[in-house]
Amino acid sequence: MVQGLSDWWNDVELWLIQLSFPLQFALVMAILLPLCVVVAWFIDRVVDYASAKLGGSGDEPPLGSRPDTDS
**pLDDT number for residue 21:** 95
Q: Is residue 63 part of a domain?
A: no
Structural domain total, the chain:
1
Range of the domain at 32: 2-51
Q: Is residue 19 part of a domain?
A: yes
Q: Is residue 9 part of a domain?
A: yes
Beta strand spans in the chain (E): none
**pLDDT number for residue 46:** 94
**pLDDT tens digits, one per residue of 12-44:** 999 989 999 999 999 989 999 999 999 999 999
Kindly report the average pLDDT of the chain as a whole number: 86
pTM greater than 0.75: no
**pLDDT number for residue 60:** 65
> What is the distance between the alpha carbons of residues 59 and 51, in angstroms, rounded to a whole number?
13
Q: Is residue 60 part of a domain?
A: no
Q: Is residue 34 part of a domain?
A: yes
Q: Is residue 15 part of a domain?
A: yes
